[in-house]
Amino acid sequence: MTITELARSVQRTHSATSQKVAAMRRAGWVRTTAGPDARTKRVALTARAARVTGRLAAEWRATEAAIAEIEAEIPYPLSQAVADIGQALRRKSFHDRIAEKLARDPAWGRPRGRRRQGTHRRRDRPVRGAAAWPAGGPRRRRRTHDRPASGASRRTGSRSAQGTPASCPGAAGVPAGAGC
């Protein structure tokens, strides 16, 4: 089966299916081979995956039987309850519902450990008012070294004085100072 065929059968996008197949390949559940043309990949279960398919099918059957049992006990199908919840969440998300309740709860208050906006310290401001900085503002750290001029080396002077290293491919044709 190709990734495209697999995507159609599970009703997912090609991209999502391709990513899932890649993860399953890394985990050792499937192997992929080149398809009839360079654009397709064929997916097949490994021996390891084939050994567990019977157990997975049994688990699926047990899950469906448990759902049918629950649906027999409640006044309407579980699938209808899921659809109703989906419609309610489309009207207002679960997050928004929780946030509304928390906004009205005095015990929720302001989260601990966080400062209020605007009370943080910045490095370019004095701690105790403007008088704490010397005249002219905060001192800036001076650079301890200057960059060498273009083409110059920090250790031994200019490259042109060193010449081109013999290890450079085509060293004879490389101008002095160009490096490799």
Is residue 43 domain-shared with residue 11, that is, in the same domain? yes
Find the domain containing 34 and state its range: 3-73
Of 85, 105, 125, the last residue of a domain is: 105
How far apart, in whole angstroms, are the C-alpha atoms of residue 97 and residue 89?
Answer: 9
Which residues have C-beta within 8 Å of that of residue 148, sequence separation ≥ 6? 154
What mean pLDDT comes out for the span 42-58?
93
Is residue 61 domain-shared with residue 8, that is, in the same domain? yes
Indicate the burial class of 121 (C-beta count within 10 angstroms; 0-12, 13-18, 19 or more). Answer: exposed
- Residue pair 78/63 in contact (Cβ under 8 Å)? The answer is no
| Segment 19-31, tens digit of pLDDT | 999 999 999 999 9
Quick one: pLDDT band at residue 174, thresholds 50, 70, 90? Answer: very low
Please report where in the chains the tokens 């001076």 appear, as a residue: 142
Residue 148, CB half-sphere, CA atoms under 13 Å: how many? 10
% of the chain beyond a pLDDT of 70: 61
What CATH number should be reported for the domain holding residue 26?
A: 1.10.10.10
Quick one: pLDDT band at residue 56, thresholds 50, 70, 90? Answer: very high
